[in-house]
Chain A
C-alpha cells in the first residue's frame, strides 16, 4: 500500500493534507494519532470506500482513484470500519454473520468450512456460534468483526480502531489472535488505534497529526526520536501553608464569592495536622505545576510520572524539576526512571502545534491559548455550593478510625447496598455494594458485560433494581429519584449529545433541562464553552466534532448545574491520549476543588491509575474493592513481580513461557512481559530466563518493571475466568 500526496477534504475542512506513506508487504503497520488526524479517512480511502481530492493511493500497485479502480483492489482487501461491531448484523448469529461475509466474498464452501473452524477456534467463539451478535460482549463483537474481515483471506487488512471500547483482557486477546494470524505470513495489516501503548505491537507506526505524518518508523525508534528523560517522583509537602500557595499559583482566581474557609487547601489545613497531610491534596498540586510546564505528566496514585524532554540525563531532569517544584514548596523523591514511550513523544510533539505560548499560567500543559484552540480553560471549576446538605470537600483515602467516622458523619456521596438486577433469568448485577465519598474519584472496572453500566443505570434511576438499596447524594435511591436527578450529572458513552444540534444549542438545552434561569444559563454556557475548549466553535454541529471534543462537551453539559456527583460511563472511549488527559484534568479539579464525587467506568487502565478508589466487577459481582496501590500490592504478593524480558524472538518466547506455565506472558513492544510468580524478583527472573533458554530462546536481559493497573486487571479477570471454567468443568 502506498499513498502519495494524499489529500482529503470534507467541505472546506482539509482533513488530510498531503500524506505520504508506504507500507511494505507483510508489514504490521500502525496509524496513531488523535481524533481528526486523518486515520479513518486514510483507511477508508485505501479500502476504496471514500473518494479523495488529491494525491494517489495505490494498493498492490493498483491505483485506487476511481470507483472502478477501487473495485480491482477490493478482492484482496479486508476492511473493518470504526465502531464496536457496527458493521455486523445484530440479529444474525455469529455463524450467520461469518457465512454472509464469506458468501459476499465468494469463498468456496470447503475453504469457508475450514477457515471458519480455525478462526472460531482461535477466537474461542466456537461455543457461541448460534448466539445473535447483539448479545455478545464488546470483546467478542470485535473478535467476530476480525473473523468476518479475515474470512476471505485478504492480502491486506485494514482495521479502524479495532480495540476501542474493549476491556484490557479482550484487547490482549485480540492482539494475540491477530499476531497469530499474521504470523502465518503474507498478510499486510494497516491498523489505526487510539491506544498509545499498542504502538509497540506494530512493526512500524506513523504518528498522524492534523492530516500529516509527524513521524514514521518502528515504535521504539519513533519514541527515541525525542530525547528526554522520564522520571517517577513522589512529591513531599513541606507544610500545609505552602499547599495553598501552590493551589493559587496553578489557578486563576475564581469568582469572588468563594469563602476562603471552603478552599480545599484551607479545609485540609484545618482538619489535618501537618504530619498527616492527605495525599489527595499533594499530588494534584504537584501535578498541576508539572502539567503547566511539561506536556506529558501522569499521576499514578501518590507518584507522578513526568517526561522531561530535552534533558540529557537523570541529573539534568531532576534539577529542572527541583527548580519548578521547589519554588512552590514541594519537595520530592525520585522513585524510578523509565524509557519514554510513544505517548510521551506524541504529546510532546503535538503540544507545540497546539499552543502559541507554552508554559502559560492559565491552563496546564503549556497549552493555553488562542480562542480557537481546543484547549480547555479550567478556571471556574472550583465551585462550591451552599444550601442543601453540606458537601464540603473532605479528605478521602485517609486511613485511621477517626477519619472514617468523620466521613460517615458527613455522608457518603454514593452508597450501594446489595444491589441486584435480573434480566429475565439472567442476573446482570449480583449483590453489589460499595460507597463513594464526596470528592473521590471512584473507578468501576470490569470486562464488557460485567454489569458496570447496569449499576450506573440503577444508581441514576433509569433502571429499577430487583433487590438491594442505596443512597445517592443523600437521597434514597428508590424513592428520591427526582431529588437525586437534580444533584447528579450523567454522561453515557456517546449518547448524551444531540448530534444535529450545535455546541451552544446542546449546552443551552441542558442548561434549560436543569432549570437554570436565563442569566445563569447564559453565564454557564459561556463558562462551559471555555471549559470544553470550544471557544470559536459554538456554532459547529456536534456531529462534526472529533470524539475527544464531543466527549468534553458532553461532560460540560453534565456539569452545567454543578452536580455533587458525576456518573461517567466510559466517557473516554475512543478518545485520543491528549483528549483523555484534558478530560482527566477537568475531573481531577472537580473532585479536588469542588468536592464532586465521580463514579467512572473505563477500559483505559492508565486512567484507572488516576482513580482514588477502584471496584473491579466480574460477572455482576464486585470482586475487589481497594485503592490502586492496594490492588497492586495484593497482586505483587499474589503473583510476584512483573518481569520485562528482552529476547531475540518475542513470539516464540511468549509461546515458550506459556508452555512453561507463565500463562500471562504477553508481547509488549519488542519484549515480553511475564508475571513471574510469587517470590523475590531476582530469583523469579532466573526461573523465567531458564525456561526461555530451555526453549532455545536467546535472552538478552531480564528486568523488573512496575506493576500497572492493566496487569492487575488482566491477572484478576483471567484468574476468575479460570476459576469459573474449573467450576463448570467440575460440575460437568
Chain B
C-alpha cells in the first residue's frame, strides 16, 4: 500500500466531486434534509385519532361517556353521526378511524346498575394504528367502569369513597419508560435515523464511482499503472467515506441538539462504531459498482438493495426482534441492525464499549468482507 498513490487517487476523486457542484451539495443536503423532515415528521405516536360518535341513546349518561373521548388528547372528535351508513362512509373515506356506537339503552342500563353496551368500529387497514387505538379505547372504558363501580360501591355497599377507589383499582401499574422517559418517539427515531440515512445515502455516492470510469475508459489509467487494487479501492473510497462521515456527524448533532435525543453513552465507542458503519455502507455501494456493468444497473441495484431495506429491515420502525425469521435473515444481511443496537446503547441506554464490542466486531468483519469481495472481483487485467 503506497500512500502517495492512495493520496493521488483520493485527491483526484475529491476534485471531481467538488467540481460536480450539484452532486456535491446534494451529498450533504439530502441526508440533512431527510433528517429534518423525518425527525419532525416520522412519528409513531398515534395521537389525535379522528373519530365520530354514534349516540343512539342521547341521555346525559351517554353524553358524559362521549365526553371522555371528546376531551382525550388521543382523540380528535369529528362529530356525531346519525346512522350506520354515515359511519361506514366516514370510515371508508378515512376521515375517521373509529366510530363509537353507544347503545340505545346505555343510560337506562347504567341507571339500573346494569352493564351497558357500547360498540367500537375501527378502521383496520393499518393494524398498528388499530391496535393503538383499541388500547386507548380500552383504557378509557376501564377508567369509566372503575368510576361507575366506585360510585356503585359507595351507594350500594356503603364504602367510603377512598375505600371504594382502592377496591375498584387494587393494583396500579406504575410504568417506568426506560431510555426514553417522555415516550417521545422523536428521540428514538432521530437516533435511529442516523443509522437509516447512513445506509440510504452513502451507497448512492459510491455506486457509480467505479462503473462510471469503466464506461468512460478512465479505469485504464488504473489498470495500466502499478497502483494496486487495494490502493485503488482505498483511494476511491476515501472522499466518499469522508463525506459520509461528515454527514454522520451532522446527523448526530441534529439528533442531539435539534431533536434533543440524549447522548449518554461513550463518545469514543460511538465514533468508532460510526467509522466502521460508514465504511460498510460506502463499501456496499463500491462493491455494487465493481460488480455491475452499467451505471443504470448500478443505480437500480443500489436502490433496491439499500434504499428500501434501510428503512424496513433496520429496526427503524419495527424492532428486528419482532420480525419473523425470514425478515430477520434479511435484517442480518445489512449492517444497519448491528449499528442500530450500538446507537441504541450509546444514545438512550447510556452505555459504551463494554456493551457494543460484539456488534462492532460484526461491523468490522462486515467491512472487511466487503473489501475482500471487492478486491477479489476487481481485476486489473480484464477479459474484454
The reply to whether the CB of A426 lies closer than 8 angstroms to some CB of chain B is: no
If A51-B382, A67-B381, A89-B16 touch, whether A106 touches B5 (CB-CB below 8 Å) is: yes
Assess whether A81 is in contact with B16, with CB atoms less than 8 Å apart. Answer: no
Assess whether A79 is in contact with B227, with CB atoms less than 8 Å apart. Answer: no
**Complex Cα spacing A96 to B227, Å:** 18
- A86 contacts which of B12, B216, B227, B384 (Cβ < 8 Å)? B216
- The smallest C-beta distance from B23 to any residue of chain A, in angstroms, reads 11
A59-96 toward B: CB 8 Å interface, digit per residue (1/0)? 00000001100110011011101110011110110001
Assess whether A74 is in contact with B218, with CB atoms less than 8 Å apart. Answer: no
Stretch among A42-50, A167-175, A214-222 lining the B interface:
A42-50
Assess whether A49 is in contact with B380, with CB atoms less than 8 Å apart. Answer: yes
- A81 contacts which of B19, B217, B227, B381 (Cβ < 8 Å)? B217
- B5 contacts which of A10, A51, A103 (Cβ < 8 Å)? A103
Assess whether B384 is in contact with A79, with CB atoms less than 8 Å apart. Answer: no
Assess whether A105 is in contact with B225, with CB atoms less than 8 Å apart. Answer: yes
Assess whether A96 is in contact with B5, with CB atoms less than 8 Å apart. Answer: no
B202-227 toward A: CB 8 Å interface, digit per residue (1/0)? 00000000000000111011111111
- B220 contacts which of A79, A96, A132 (Cβ < 8 Å)? A79
Number of contacting residues on B, CB 8 A?
30
Assess whether B223 is in contact with A91, with CB atoms less than 8 Å apart. Answer: no
Contact partners of A89 in chain B: CB under 8 A: 12, 15-16, 218
The reply to whether the CB of A101 lies closer than 8 angstroms to some CB of chain B is: yes
Question: In the complex, which residues 294-328 of chain B have their Cβ closer than 8 Å to any Cβ of chain A?
Answer: none
The chain A residue sitting closest to B215, CB to CB, is: A86
The reply to whether the CB of B379 lies closer than 8 angstroms to some CB of chain A is: yes
Question: In the complex, which residues 214-243 of chain B have their Cβ closer than 8 Å to any Cβ of chain A?
Answer: 216-218, 220-228
The chain B residue sitting closest to A9, CB to CB, is: B383
**Complex Cα spacing A50 to B220, Å:** 10
If A51-B381, A67-B380, A67-B381 touch, whether A104 touches B218 (CB-CB below 8 Å) is: no
Assess whether B12 is in contact with A81, with CB atoms less than 8 Å apart. Answer: no
- B8 contacts which of A50, A74, A82, A104 (Cβ < 8 Å)? A104
- A70 contacts which of B4, B228, B380 (Cβ < 8 Å)? B380
The reply to whether the CB of B266 lies closer than 8 angstroms to some CB of chain A is: no
Contact partners of A86 in chain B: CB under 8 A: 216-218
If A92-B16, A106-B5 touch, whether A48 touches B220 (CB-CB below 8 Å) is: no
Number of contacting residues on A, CB 8 A?
34
Assess whether B8 is in contact with A103, with CB atoms less than 8 Å apart. Answer: yes
The reply to whether the CB of A100 lies closer than 8 angstroms to some CB of chain B is: yes
Assess whether A101 is in contact with B380, with CB atoms less than 8 Å apart. Answer: no
**Complex Cα spacing A88 to B221, Å:** 9
Contact partners of A82 in chain B: CB under 8 A: 217
- The smallest C-beta distance from B18 to any residue of chain A, in angstroms, reads 8
The reply to whether the CB of B2 lies closer than 8 angstroms to some CB of chain A is: yes
The reply to whether the CB of B100 lies closer than 8 angstroms to some CB of chain A is: no
If A50-B381, A81-B217 touch, whether A91 touches B16 (CB-CB below 8 Å) is: yes
- The smallest C-beta distance from A726 to any residue of chain B, in angstroms, reads 35
Assess whether A100 is in contact with B11, with CB atoms less than 8 Å apart. Answer: yes
A424-446 toward B: CB 8 Å interface, digit per residue (1/0)? 00000000000000000000000
The chain A residue sitting closest to B229, CB to CB, is: A67
**Complex Cα spacing A67 to B221, Å:** 15
- The smallest C-beta distance from A544 to any residue of chain B, in angstroms, reads 11
Contact partners of A75 in chain B: CB under 8 A: 226
- The smallest C-beta distance from B5 to any residue of chain A, in angstroms, reads 6
Assess whether A96 is in contact with B4, with CB atoms less than 8 Å apart. Answer: no
Assess whether B19 is in contact with A91, with CB atoms less than 8 Å apart. Answer: yes
Question: In the complex, which residues 1-47 of chain B have their Cβ closer than 8 Å to any Cβ of chain A?
Answer: 2, 4-5, 7-9, 11-12, 15-16, 19-20
- A104 contacts which of B227, B379, B382 (Cβ < 8 Å)? B227
Interface pairs (8), CB distance under 8 Å: A50-B383, A51-B383, A70-B381, A100-B8, A100-B12, A102-B8, A103-B4, A132-B19
